[in-house]
Structure 1
Amino acid sequence: MHSDTAPAVRSRTATEGPTPSAPTWDPQQYLRHAGHRTRPFVDLLARIPQLPGPAPRIADLGCGPGNVTVLLADRWADARITGYDLSPEMLQRATQEHAGPTPGGGSLDFRPGDIASWLPEEPYDLIVSNAALQWVPSHPGSFAAWINGLRPGGTFAFQIPGNFQAPSHNLLATLCESPRWRSRLAGHGARYNHLLEPAEYLARLTELGCEVEVWETVYYQMLTGPDPVLDWVKGTALRPVLTALGDDHEAVSAFLLQYRDLLRGAYPPGPRGTVFPFRRIFAIARKEK
Protein backbone atom coordinates (compact mmCIF):
# COMPACT_ATOMS: atom_id res chain seq x y z
CA MET A 1 0.00 0.00 0.00
CA HIS A 2 1.17 3.01 -0.33
CA SER A 3 -0.03 2.76 2.65
CA ASP A 4 2.04 0.08 4.48
CA THR A 5 -1.01 -2.08 3.98
CA ALA A 6 -1.97 -5.67 3.13
CA PRO A 7 -0.62 -7.08 6.39
CA ALA A 8 0.26 -10.71 6.90
CA VAL A 9 0.98 -12.05 10.36
CA ARG A 10 3.89 -14.41 10.99
CA SER A 11 3.31 -17.51 13.07
CA ARG A 12 4.31 -17.41 16.73
CA THR A 13 4.71 -19.98 19.47
CA ALA A 14 2.68 -19.87 22.65
CA THR A 15 5.65 -18.57 24.61
CA GLU A 16 6.12 -15.58 22.36
CA GLY A 17 2.89 -13.90 23.38
CA PRO A 18 -0.21 -13.02 21.37
CA THR A 19 -0.23 -13.07 17.60
CA PRO A 20 0.16 -9.50 16.30
CA SER A 21 -3.12 -8.05 15.15
CA ALA A 22 -3.92 -7.31 11.54
CA PRO A 23 -4.02 -3.52 11.60
CA THR A 24 -7.09 -1.40 11.11
CA TRP A 25 -6.10 1.46 8.84
CA ASP A 26 -6.95 5.15 9.02
CA PRO A 27 -6.61 6.74 5.55
CA GLN A 28 -6.91 10.25 6.95
CA GLN A 29 -4.04 9.73 9.39
CA TYR A 30 -1.91 8.09 6.73
CA LEU A 31 -2.45 10.94 4.28
CA ARG A 32 -1.40 13.59 6.82
CA HIS A 33 2.16 13.04 5.55
CA ALA A 34 1.24 12.31 1.94
CA GLY A 35 4.01 14.48 0.50
CA HIS A 36 6.83 12.62 2.24
CA ARG A 37 5.18 9.24 1.70
CA THR A 38 4.70 9.86 -2.01
CA ARG A 39 8.25 10.90 -2.82
CA PRO A 40 9.80 7.38 -2.83
CA PHE A 41 7.14 6.16 -5.26
CA VAL A 42 7.83 9.11 -7.55
CA ASP A 43 11.52 8.20 -7.49
CA LEU A 44 10.70 4.56 -8.24
CA LEU A 45 8.31 5.49 -11.02
CA ALA A 46 10.91 7.67 -12.72
CA ARG A 47 13.24 4.68 -13.19
CA ILE A 48 10.75 2.11 -14.47
CA PRO A 49 11.68 1.41 -18.12
CA GLN A 50 9.37 1.55 -21.10
CA LEU A 51 6.61 -1.03 -20.95
CA PRO A 52 6.12 -3.63 -23.72
CA GLY A 53 3.21 -2.09 -25.59
CA PRO A 54 0.37 0.42 -25.73
CA ALA A 55 -2.53 0.39 -23.25
CA PRO A 56 -0.47 -1.48 -20.64
CA ARG A 57 -2.07 -3.64 -17.97
CA ILE A 58 -0.84 -2.65 -14.51
CA ALA A 59 -1.36 -4.09 -11.01
CA ASP A 60 -0.63 -2.02 -7.90
CA LEU A 61 -0.20 -4.35 -4.90
CA GLY A 62 -1.07 -2.69 -1.61
CA CYS A 63 -2.58 0.41 -3.15
CA GLY A 64 -3.81 2.00 0.07
CA PRO A 65 -5.95 5.11 -0.46
CA GLY A 66 -5.00 5.27 -4.14
CA ASN A 67 -3.24 8.60 -3.94
CA VAL A 68 -0.10 7.25 -5.63
CA THR A 69 -1.87 4.73 -7.84
CA VAL A 70 -3.18 7.67 -9.84
CA LEU A 71 0.44 8.60 -10.63
CA LEU A 72 0.62 5.45 -12.75
CA ALA A 73 -2.13 6.90 -14.95
CA ASP A 74 -0.12 10.10 -15.29
CA ARG A 75 2.85 8.09 -16.59
CA TRP A 76 0.85 5.67 -18.77
CA ALA A 77 -2.25 7.59 -19.77
CA ASP A 78 -4.00 4.73 -21.60
CA ALA A 79 -3.21 2.04 -19.04
CA ARG A 80 -5.75 -0.27 -17.40
CA ILE A 81 -4.75 -0.11 -13.74
CA THR A 82 -6.06 -2.15 -10.82
CA GLY A 83 -5.11 -1.45 -7.23
CA TYR A 84 -5.33 -4.28 -4.69
CA ASP A 85 -5.56 -3.91 -0.92
CA LEU A 86 -6.90 -5.77 2.12
CA SER A 87 -8.11 -2.72 4.03
CA PRO A 88 -11.80 -1.89 3.47
CA GLU A 89 -11.13 1.62 4.75
CA MET A 90 -8.36 2.21 2.25
CA LEU A 91 -10.30 0.67 -0.65
CA GLN A 92 -13.35 2.78 0.09
CA ARG A 93 -11.26 5.96 0.04
CA ALA A 94 -9.45 4.92 -3.15
CA THR A 95 -12.65 3.99 -4.97
CA GLN A 96 -14.51 7.13 -3.98
CA GLU A 97 -11.72 9.49 -4.96
CA HIS A 98 -9.93 7.85 -7.86
CA ALA A 99 -11.80 5.01 -9.60
CA GLY A 100 -13.13 5.39 -13.13
CA PRO A 101 -11.97 6.31 -16.62
CA THR A 102 -8.71 8.22 -16.88
CA PRO A 103 -8.20 11.29 -19.13
CA GLY A 104 -5.89 9.37 -21.47
CA GLY A 105 -8.41 6.67 -22.29
CA GLY A 106 -7.40 4.17 -19.65
CA SER A 107 -9.15 3.05 -16.49
CA LEU A 108 -8.50 2.82 -12.77
CA ASP A 109 -10.24 0.42 -10.39
CA PHE A 110 -9.65 -1.02 -6.94
CA ARG A 111 -10.30 -4.53 -5.64
CA PRO A 112 -9.87 -6.45 -2.40
CA GLY A 113 -6.75 -8.54 -2.55
CA ASP A 114 -4.28 -10.14 -0.16
CA ILE A 115 -0.86 -9.67 -1.68
CA ALA A 116 0.44 -12.56 0.44
CA SER A 117 -1.47 -14.89 -1.90
CA TRP A 118 -2.17 -12.72 -4.96
CA LEU A 119 -1.37 -14.25 -8.35
CA PRO A 120 -1.65 -12.62 -11.78
CA GLU A 121 -4.93 -13.65 -13.40
CA GLU A 122 -3.84 -12.29 -16.78
CA PRO A 123 -0.57 -11.08 -18.37
CA TYR A 124 0.65 -7.78 -16.93
CA ASP A 125 3.03 -5.20 -18.32
CA LEU A 126 3.83 -3.84 -14.86
CA ILE A 127 3.36 -5.17 -11.33
CA VAL A 128 4.29 -2.54 -8.79
CA SER A 129 4.16 -2.27 -5.02
CA ASN A 130 4.79 0.79 -2.88
CA ALA A 131 5.52 0.49 0.85
CA ALA A 132 3.45 -2.68 1.26
CA LEU A 133 5.64 -5.79 0.99
CA GLN A 134 7.13 -5.23 4.45
CA TRP A 135 3.81 -6.50 5.83
CA VAL A 136 4.17 -9.82 3.98
CA PRO A 137 6.85 -12.13 5.42
CA SER A 138 6.57 -14.48 2.44
CA HIS A 139 6.93 -11.83 -0.26
CA PRO A 140 10.28 -13.00 -1.73
CA GLY A 141 8.64 -16.37 -2.38
CA SER A 142 6.09 -14.67 -4.66
CA PHE A 143 8.65 -13.07 -6.97
CA ALA A 144 8.82 -16.00 -9.39
CA ALA A 145 5.04 -16.18 -9.83
CA TRP A 146 4.72 -12.43 -10.27
CA ILE A 147 7.50 -12.25 -12.85
CA ASN A 148 6.03 -15.28 -14.61
CA GLY A 149 2.81 -13.28 -14.89
CA LEU A 150 4.52 -10.47 -16.78
CA ARG A 151 4.56 -10.13 -20.54
CA PRO A 152 8.02 -10.42 -22.11
CA GLY A 153 9.73 -7.11 -21.43
CA GLY A 154 7.38 -6.36 -18.54
CA THR A 155 8.55 -5.02 -15.18
CA PHE A 156 8.14 -5.84 -11.51
CA ALA A 157 9.04 -2.88 -9.28
CA PHE A 158 8.74 -2.15 -5.58
CA GLN A 159 9.97 0.01 -2.77
CA ILE A 160 9.84 -0.79 0.95
CA PRO A 161 10.90 0.98 4.12
CA GLY A 162 14.33 -0.05 5.33
CA ASN A 163 14.29 1.84 8.62
CA PHE A 164 13.33 -0.94 11.00
CA GLN A 165 16.51 -0.54 13.02
CA ALA A 166 15.82 3.17 13.50
CA PRO A 167 15.01 4.54 16.97
CA SER A 168 11.34 4.95 16.04
CA HIS A 169 10.97 1.18 15.59
CA ASN A 170 13.45 -0.03 18.20
CA LEU A 171 11.77 2.06 20.87
CA LEU A 172 8.36 0.80 19.83
CA ALA A 173 9.50 -2.83 20.00
CA THR A 174 11.14 -2.30 23.40
CA LEU A 175 8.03 -0.63 24.82
CA CYS A 176 5.76 -3.43 23.55
CA GLU A 177 7.99 -5.99 25.29
CA SER A 178 8.18 -4.05 28.58
CA PRO A 179 6.55 -5.57 31.70
CA ARG A 180 3.60 -3.20 31.58
CA TRP A 181 2.64 -4.06 27.97
CA ARG A 182 4.09 -7.48 27.22
CA SER A 183 0.93 -9.49 27.91
CA ARG A 184 -1.06 -7.42 25.39
CA LEU A 185 1.50 -6.26 22.86
CA ALA A 186 4.39 -8.74 22.68
CA GLY A 187 5.51 -8.98 19.07
CA HIS A 188 3.50 -6.01 17.85
CA GLY A 189 6.48 -3.70 17.63
CA ALA A 190 8.93 -6.04 15.85
CA ARG A 191 7.38 -7.54 12.73
CA TYR A 192 10.00 -6.95 10.08
CA ASN A 193 12.83 -9.45 10.57
CA HIS A 194 11.84 -11.10 7.27
CA LEU A 195 13.00 -8.17 5.15
CA LEU A 196 16.04 -8.69 2.96
CA GLU A 197 18.95 -6.36 2.38
CA PRO A 198 19.38 -4.79 -1.08
CA ALA A 199 22.07 -7.27 -2.16
CA GLU A 200 19.76 -10.17 -1.34
CA TYR A 201 16.91 -8.72 -3.40
CA LEU A 202 19.36 -8.18 -6.26
CA ALA A 203 20.52 -11.81 -6.12
CA ARG A 204 17.01 -13.28 -5.95
CA LEU A 205 15.63 -11.24 -8.82
CA THR A 206 18.71 -11.81 -10.98
CA GLU A 207 18.37 -15.56 -10.43
CA LEU A 208 14.90 -15.30 -11.98
CA GLY A 209 16.45 -14.15 -15.25
CA CYS A 210 15.63 -10.46 -14.99
CA GLU A 211 17.59 -7.34 -15.71
CA VAL A 212 17.68 -5.86 -12.22
CA GLU A 213 18.38 -2.52 -10.62
CA VAL A 214 18.40 -2.25 -6.81
CA TRP A 215 19.31 0.76 -4.69
CA GLU A 216 18.63 2.44 -1.38
CA THR A 217 18.06 6.02 -0.34
CA VAL A 218 17.90 7.75 3.03
CA TYR A 219 15.44 10.65 2.98
CA TYR A 220 16.13 13.27 5.63
CA GLN A 221 12.62 14.51 6.20
CA MET A 222 11.86 17.70 8.09
CA LEU A 223 8.67 17.07 10.05
CA THR A 224 6.82 19.93 11.70
CA GLY A 225 4.14 20.32 14.33
CA PRO A 226 3.88 18.91 17.86
CA ASP A 227 5.41 15.44 18.25
CA PRO A 228 5.66 14.95 14.49
CA VAL A 229 7.41 11.55 14.61
CA LEU A 230 4.61 10.17 16.77
CA ASP A 231 2.11 11.60 14.31
CA TRP A 232 4.00 9.92 11.45
CA VAL A 233 4.06 6.45 13.00
CA LYS A 234 0.38 6.68 13.98
CA GLY A 235 -0.29 6.18 10.27
CA THR A 236 1.97 3.14 9.85
CA ALA A 237 4.05 1.30 12.46
CA LEU A 238 1.66 2.07 15.33
CA ARG A 239 -1.40 0.67 13.55
CA PRO A 240 -0.97 -2.91 14.89
CA VAL A 241 -0.54 -1.58 18.44
CA LEU A 242 -3.56 0.70 18.26
CA THR A 243 -5.61 -2.12 16.76
CA ALA A 244 -4.58 -4.50 19.56
CA LEU A 245 -5.51 -1.98 22.26
CA GLY A 246 -8.83 -1.38 20.53
CA ASP A 247 -11.40 0.63 22.47
CA ASP A 248 -9.38 0.65 25.68
CA HIS A 249 -8.91 4.40 25.53
CA GLU A 250 -7.08 4.54 28.86
CA ALA A 251 -4.49 2.04 27.66
CA VAL A 252 -4.12 3.80 24.30
CA SER A 253 -3.51 7.12 26.04
CA ALA A 254 -0.99 5.62 28.47
CA PHE A 255 0.93 3.83 25.74
CA LEU A 256 1.06 6.88 23.49
CA LEU A 257 2.34 9.06 26.35
CA GLN A 258 5.17 6.64 27.08
CA TYR A 259 6.07 6.28 23.43
CA ARG A 260 5.84 10.03 22.85
CA ASP A 261 8.36 10.71 25.61
CA LEU A 262 10.78 8.15 24.17
CA LEU A 263 10.47 9.67 20.69
CA ARG A 264 11.05 13.17 22.03
CA GLY A 265 14.40 12.02 23.39
CA ALA A 266 15.39 10.24 20.18
CA TYR A 267 14.22 12.96 17.77
CA PRO A 268 14.67 16.35 19.44
CA PRO A 269 13.04 19.25 17.60
CA GLY A 270 15.12 21.96 15.98
CA PRO A 271 14.25 25.57 15.23
CA ARG A 272 12.54 24.63 11.94
CA GLY A 273 11.21 21.20 12.74
CA THR A 274 12.30 17.65 13.55
CA VAL A 275 14.71 15.78 11.29
CA PHE A 276 13.44 12.25 10.65
CA PRO A 277 15.81 10.05 8.59
CA PHE A 278 13.97 7.39 6.59
CA ARG A 279 15.78 4.64 4.66
CA ARG A 280 14.03 3.10 1.65
CA ILE A 281 14.95 0.08 -0.48
CA PHE A 282 14.06 0.02 -4.20
CA ALA A 283 14.08 -2.74 -6.80
CA ILE A 284 13.19 -2.89 -10.50
CA ALA A 285 13.26 -6.23 -12.33
CA ARG A 286 12.64 -6.33 -16.09
CA LYS A 287 11.65 -9.65 -17.62
CA GLU A 288 13.54 -10.83 -20.67
CA LYS A 289 11.85 -10.08 -23.98
Structure 2
Amino acid sequence: MSRDAEWDPAQYGVFGDERARPFAELVGRISGPEPRYAVDLGCGPGELTATLATRWPDAVIDAIDSSPDMIAAAQAHSIPGRLNFTVGDVAAWKPDKAVDIIVSNAVLHWVPEHDNLLPQWVDALAPGGRLAFQVPGNFDEPSHALLRMLCRSDRWVDRIGDVLQSDPILDPARYLDLLARHGCLVDAWETTYTQVLQGDDPVLEWVKGTTLRPILTELDQQERDEFLASYRDLLREAYPAAPYGTVFPFRRVFVIAHRNAP
Protein backbone atom coordinates (compact mmCIF):
# COMPACT_ATOMS: atom_id res chain seq x y z
CA MET A 1 0.00 0.00 0.00
CA SER A 2 1.02 3.56 -0.53
CA ARG A 3 2.87 4.99 2.42
CA ASP A 4 2.03 8.53 1.28
CA ALA A 5 -1.63 8.20 2.18
CA GLU A 6 -3.41 11.12 3.81
CA TRP A 7 -4.23 10.04 7.36
CA ASP A 8 -7.11 11.39 9.42
CA PRO A 9 -6.62 11.00 13.19
CA ALA A 10 -10.31 11.72 13.84
CA GLN A 11 -11.50 9.01 11.44
CA TYR A 12 -8.94 6.58 12.83
CA GLY A 13 -10.28 7.23 16.32
CA VAL A 14 -13.94 6.50 15.51
CA PHE A 15 -13.53 2.98 16.91
CA GLY A 16 -10.86 3.85 19.43
CA ASP A 17 -11.85 1.27 22.04
CA GLU A 18 -11.79 -1.57 19.52
CA ARG A 19 -8.44 -0.47 18.12
CA ALA A 20 -6.96 -0.12 21.62
CA ARG A 21 -7.74 -3.65 22.75
CA PRO A 22 -5.05 -5.49 20.70
CA PHE A 23 -2.47 -2.92 21.81
CA ALA A 24 -3.35 -3.45 25.46
CA GLU A 25 -3.20 -7.23 25.11
CA LEU A 26 0.14 -7.06 23.31
CA VAL A 27 1.75 -4.77 25.89
CA GLY A 28 0.20 -6.76 28.72
CA ARG A 29 2.18 -9.82 27.63
CA ILE A 30 5.56 -8.06 27.71
CA SER A 31 7.45 -9.48 30.68
CA GLY A 32 10.83 -8.77 32.20
CA PRO A 33 12.48 -5.71 33.74
CA GLU A 34 11.07 -2.28 33.11
CA PRO A 35 12.82 -0.47 30.26
CA ARG A 36 14.96 2.60 30.55
CA TYR A 37 14.54 3.36 26.87
CA ALA A 38 11.59 2.30 24.70
CA VAL A 39 10.49 3.13 21.16
CA ASP A 40 7.03 3.03 19.58
CA LEU A 41 7.35 2.59 15.81
CA GLY A 42 4.21 3.76 14.05
CA CYS A 43 2.60 5.52 17.00
CA GLY A 44 -0.40 7.05 15.21
CA PRO A 45 -2.21 9.77 17.18
CA GLY A 46 -0.38 8.97 20.40
CA GLU A 47 -3.10 7.97 22.87
CA LEU A 48 -1.85 4.41 23.14
CA THR A 49 1.79 5.47 23.32
CA ALA A 50 0.88 7.66 26.29
CA THR A 51 -0.20 4.54 28.18
CA LEU A 52 3.37 3.25 27.88
CA ALA A 53 4.62 6.30 29.77
CA THR A 54 2.20 5.43 32.56
CA ARG A 55 3.18 1.76 32.57
CA TRP A 56 6.92 2.49 32.50
CA PRO A 57 7.27 5.73 34.50
CA ASP A 58 11.07 5.64 34.58
CA ALA A 59 11.52 5.11 30.83
CA VAL A 60 12.31 7.59 28.10
CA ILE A 61 10.03 6.82 25.15
CA ASP A 62 10.56 7.95 21.57
CA ALA A 63 7.66 7.52 19.16
CA ILE A 64 7.65 8.00 15.39
CA ASP A 65 5.05 7.90 12.64
CA SER A 66 5.24 8.72 8.94
CA SER A 67 2.11 10.89 9.02
CA PRO A 68 2.60 14.56 9.97
CA ASP A 69 -1.12 14.74 10.81
CA MET A 70 -0.83 11.84 13.23
CA ILE A 71 2.23 13.33 14.89
CA ALA A 72 0.53 16.72 15.15
CA ALA A 73 -2.30 15.03 17.05
CA ALA A 74 0.16 13.03 19.16
CA GLN A 75 1.97 16.14 20.40
CA ALA A 76 -0.87 16.68 22.87
CA HIS A 77 0.47 13.63 24.75
CA SER A 78 4.14 14.57 24.78
CA ILE A 79 6.04 14.82 28.07
CA PRO A 80 9.24 16.85 27.75
CA GLY A 81 12.24 14.67 28.35
CA ARG A 82 10.09 11.55 28.76
CA LEU A 83 7.75 11.05 25.80
CA ASN A 84 8.72 12.43 22.41
CA PHE A 85 6.87 12.27 19.08
CA THR A 86 8.62 12.68 15.72
CA VAL A 87 7.74 12.30 12.04
CA GLY A 88 9.80 9.46 10.59
CA ASP A 89 9.85 6.37 8.40
CA VAL A 90 9.81 3.18 10.46
CA ALA A 91 11.51 1.30 7.61
CA ALA A 92 14.48 3.68 7.77
CA TRP A 93 14.59 4.05 11.56
CA LYS A 94 18.01 3.66 13.19
CA PRO A 95 18.38 4.25 16.94
CA ASP A 96 21.22 6.26 18.43
CA LYS A 97 21.53 3.77 21.29
CA ALA A 98 20.40 0.29 22.23
CA VAL A 99 16.68 -0.03 22.92
CA ASP A 100 15.18 -2.03 25.78
CA ILE A 101 11.71 -2.42 24.24
CA ILE A 102 10.42 -1.79 20.73
CA VAL A 103 6.64 -1.68 20.31
CA SER A 104 4.97 -1.60 16.90
CA ASN A 105 1.18 -1.65 16.78
CA ALA A 106 -0.73 -2.26 13.53
CA VAL A 107 2.03 -0.84 11.34
CA LEU A 108 4.13 -3.54 9.70
CA HIS A 109 1.49 -4.50 7.13
CA TRP A 110 2.17 -1.09 5.56
CA VAL A 111 5.87 -1.91 5.13
CA PRO A 112 6.74 -3.99 2.05
CA GLU A 113 8.88 -7.05 2.86
CA HIS A 114 8.84 -6.21 6.55
CA ASP A 115 10.16 -9.69 7.30
CA ASN A 116 13.54 -8.34 6.18
CA LEU A 117 13.19 -5.42 8.57
CA LEU A 118 12.47 -7.40 11.74
CA PRO A 119 16.02 -8.79 12.20
CA GLN A 120 17.31 -5.20 12.01
CA TRP A 121 14.97 -4.22 14.81
CA VAL A 122 16.16 -7.16 16.88
CA ASP A 123 19.74 -6.01 16.32
CA ALA A 124 18.74 -2.59 17.69
CA LEU A 125 17.75 -4.17 21.02
CA ALA A 126 19.97 -4.24 24.05
CA PRO A 127 20.85 -7.74 25.31
CA GLY A 128 17.67 -9.08 26.86
CA GLY A 129 15.59 -6.47 25.02
CA ARG A 130 12.15 -7.19 23.67
CA LEU A 131 10.39 -6.56 20.38
CA ALA A 132 6.58 -6.60 20.54
CA PHE A 133 4.31 -6.10 17.54
CA GLN A 134 0.85 -6.91 16.33
CA VAL A 135 -0.58 -6.74 12.83
CA PRO A 136 -4.04 -7.23 11.31
CA GLY A 137 -4.48 -10.62 9.68
CA ASN A 138 -7.84 -10.12 8.00
CA PHE A 139 -6.71 -9.62 4.40
CA ASP A 140 -8.74 -12.58 3.14
CA GLU A 141 -11.94 -11.39 4.81
CA PRO A 142 -14.78 -9.85 2.76
CA SER A 143 -13.83 -6.30 3.79
CA HIS A 144 -10.54 -6.68 1.92
CA ALA A 145 -11.45 -9.21 -0.76
CA LEU A 146 -14.34 -7.05 -1.96
CA LEU A 147 -12.14 -3.97 -1.88
CA ARG A 148 -9.51 -5.64 -4.07
CA MET A 149 -12.23 -6.82 -6.46
CA LEU A 150 -13.65 -3.31 -6.74
CA CYS A 151 -10.24 -1.71 -7.29
CA ARG A 152 -9.53 -4.16 -10.10
CA SER A 153 -12.92 -3.82 -11.77
CA ASP A 154 -13.13 -2.30 -15.23
CA ARG A 155 -14.28 1.00 -13.75
CA TRP A 156 -11.32 1.44 -11.41
CA VAL A 157 -8.42 -0.73 -12.55
CA ASP A 158 -6.68 2.05 -14.49
CA ARG A 159 -6.95 4.47 -11.55
CA ILE A 160 -6.28 2.35 -8.47
CA GLY A 161 -5.87 -1.23 -9.61
CA ASP A 162 -2.38 -1.52 -8.18
CA VAL A 163 -2.82 0.45 -4.94
CA LEU A 164 -3.60 -2.57 -2.74
CA GLN A 165 -1.00 -5.25 -2.26
CA SER A 166 -1.72 -8.89 -1.60
CA ASP A 167 -1.69 -10.24 1.96
CA PRO A 168 1.55 -8.85 3.44
CA ILE A 169 1.31 -10.71 6.76
CA LEU A 170 3.00 -13.94 7.84
CA ASP A 171 1.30 -16.43 10.09
CA PRO A 172 2.49 -16.71 13.72
CA ALA A 173 4.62 -19.82 13.07
CA ARG A 174 6.56 -18.09 10.31
CA TYR A 175 7.23 -15.04 12.48
CA LEU A 176 8.38 -17.38 15.25
CA ASP A 177 10.74 -19.22 12.91
CA LEU A 178 12.16 -16.00 11.48
CA LEU A 179 12.93 -14.45 14.86
CA ALA A 180 14.01 -17.65 16.62
CA ARG A 181 16.60 -18.17 13.89
CA HIS A 182 17.82 -14.66 14.72
CA GLY A 183 18.51 -15.59 18.33
CA CYS A 184 15.22 -14.73 20.03
CA LEU A 185 12.88 -16.48 22.39
CA VAL A 186 9.52 -15.94 20.71
CA ASP A 187 5.92 -15.88 21.86
CA ALA A 188 3.64 -15.75 18.79
CA TRP A 189 -0.12 -16.16 18.66
CA GLU A 190 -3.26 -15.01 16.91
CA THR A 191 -6.70 -13.88 18.05
CA THR A 192 -9.89 -13.23 16.14
CA TYR A 193 -12.00 -10.55 17.79
CA THR A 194 -15.69 -10.95 17.04
CA GLN A 195 -16.45 -7.26 17.18
CA VAL A 196 -19.92 -5.76 17.21
CA LEU A 197 -19.77 -2.31 15.62
CA GLN A 198 -22.46 0.33 16.06
CA GLY A 199 -23.73 3.05 13.75
CA ASP A 200 -24.63 3.36 10.09
CA ASP A 201 -22.36 1.39 7.75
CA PRO A 202 -19.84 0.80 10.56
CA VAL A 203 -17.56 -1.53 8.58
CA LEU A 204 -17.14 1.18 5.96
CA GLU A 205 -16.37 3.70 8.71
CA TRP A 206 -13.81 1.28 10.16
CA VAL A 207 -12.05 0.73 6.84
CA LYS A 208 -12.12 4.47 6.04
CA GLY A 209 -9.77 4.95 8.99
CA THR A 210 -7.14 2.49 7.72
CA THR A 211 -7.16 0.40 4.54
CA LEU A 212 -9.10 2.91 2.44
CA ARG A 213 -6.70 5.78 3.13
CA PRO A 214 -4.28 5.10 0.22
CA ILE A 215 -7.19 4.63 -2.17
CA LEU A 216 -9.02 7.79 -1.16
CA THR A 217 -5.76 9.72 -1.44
CA GLU A 218 -5.57 8.79 -5.14
CA LEU A 219 -9.13 9.88 -6.00
CA ASP A 220 -10.74 13.28 -6.40
CA GLN A 221 -13.90 14.08 -4.45
CA GLN A 222 -16.33 12.99 -7.16
CA GLU A 223 -14.46 9.72 -7.63
CA ARG A 224 -14.35 9.16 -3.88
CA ASP A 225 -18.11 9.53 -3.60
CA GLU A 226 -18.70 7.08 -6.45
CA PHE A 227 -16.20 4.56 -5.16
CA LEU A 228 -17.50 4.69 -1.58
CA ALA A 229 -21.10 4.23 -2.73
CA SER A 230 -20.18 1.06 -4.61
CA TYR A 231 -18.06 -0.29 -1.76
CA ARG A 232 -20.78 0.55 0.78
CA ASP A 233 -23.29 -1.59 -1.12
CA LEU A 234 -20.89 -4.54 -1.17
CA LEU A 235 -20.19 -4.24 2.55
CA ARG A 236 -23.86 -4.02 3.47
CA GLU A 237 -24.44 -7.37 1.80
CA ALA A 238 -21.31 -8.99 3.32
CA TYR A 239 -21.91 -7.59 6.83
CA PRO A 240 -25.67 -7.28 7.32
CA ALA A 241 -26.84 -5.17 10.23
CA ALA A 242 -28.56 -6.90 13.15
CA PRO A 243 -30.74 -5.29 15.84
CA TYR A 244 -27.75 -5.24 18.21
CA GLY A 245 -25.17 -3.95 15.69
CA THR A 246 -22.95 -5.28 12.90
CA VAL A 247 -20.67 -8.26 13.50
CA PHE A 248 -17.16 -7.65 12.14
CA PRO A 249 -14.67 -10.47 12.85
CA PHE A 250 -11.10 -9.22 12.94
CA ARG A 251 -8.05 -11.48 13.12
CA ARG A 252 -4.83 -10.17 14.68
CA VAL A 253 -1.34 -11.69 14.80
CA PHE A 254 0.83 -10.97 17.86
CA VAL A 255 4.56 -11.50 18.38
CA ILE A 256 6.90 -10.84 21.31
CA ALA A 257 10.55 -11.61 20.65
CA HIS A 258 13.04 -11.59 23.54
CA ARG A 259 16.62 -11.07 22.43
CA ASN A 260 18.91 -13.51 24.21
CA ALA A 261 21.66 -11.98 26.33
CA PRO A 262 25.15 -12.90 25.04
**Bin for the TM-score computed over the shorter chain:** over 0.9
Counterpart check, 1:48 vs 2:30: yes
> Which 5+ residue runs of structure 1 have no aligned equivalent?
1-8, 10-19
Residues in 2 aligned to 1:86 and 1:36: alpha-carbon distance in whole angstroms: 23
217, 225, 236: which one aligns with 1:264: 236
Task: Note if contact 2:63-2:85 (Cα within 8 Å) is conserved in structure 1.
Answer: yes
Structure 1 position 61, deviation (Å): 0.4
Q: 1:220 aligns with which of 161, 170, 194?
A: 194
Taking the TM superposition and a 5 Å limit, the aligned residue runs for 1:171-210 are: 171-188=146-163, 190-210=164-184
Assess if the C-alpha contact under 8 Å between 1:160 and 1:280 holds in 2. Answer: yes
Letter of the structure 2 residue corresponding to residue 135 of structure 1: W
Distance in 2, matches of 1:183 and 1:132, equals 27
Q: CA deviation at 1:251?
A: 1.0
Rate the CA distance shift 1:109–1:192 in 2: closer, same or farther, 3 A.
farther
Higher alpha-carbon deviation: 263-272 or 133-142:
133-142
Partner of residue 143 from structure 2, selected from 168, 174, 177: 168
Q: Deviations over 1:166-198 (max 9, x none)?
A: 00000000000000111111122x324332111
2:117 is paired with a residue whose SS is helix
Match of 2:66 among 62, 71, 86: 86
Q: Deviations over 1:135-157 (max 9, x none)?
A: 00122112222111111111001
Contact preservation (8 Å) 1:173, 1:187: no
Instruction: Give the AA of the match of 1:85.
Output: D
Shift of residue 250 of structure 1?
1.4
Which residue number in structure 2 is paired with residue 138 of structure 1? 113
Q: Is the Cα contact below 8 Å between 1:84 and 1:113 reproduced in 2?
A: yes
Letter in 2 for 1:28: A
Q: Deviations over 1:5-55 (max 9, x none)?
A: xxxx5xxxxxxxxxx57211000000111100000000001100123x6x6
In 2, Cα distance between equivalents of 1:182 and 1:216: 33
- Structure 2, unpaired ranges of 5+: none
2:206: which partner in 1? 232
Residue identity opposite 2:119 in structure 1: A
The offset of 1:87, in angstroms, is 0.3
Q: Is the 8 A contact 2:102 2:131 kept in 1?
A: yes
1:37 aligns with 2:9: no
Aligned length: 261
* Letter of the structure 2 residue corresponding to residue 29 of structure 1: Q
Give the % identical residues.
50
Q: What is the TM-score when the length of structure 1 is the normalising length?
A: 0.87
Deviation at 1:112, TM superposition (A): 1.6
Provide the alpha-carbon RMSD of the alignment: 1.3
1:222, 1:273 within 8 Å by CA — same for their partners in 2? yes
Change (3 A) 1:127 1:200: same
Q: How does 1:96-135 map to 2 (within 5 A)?
A: 97-101=76-80, 107-135=82-110
1:116 counterpart SS class: helix
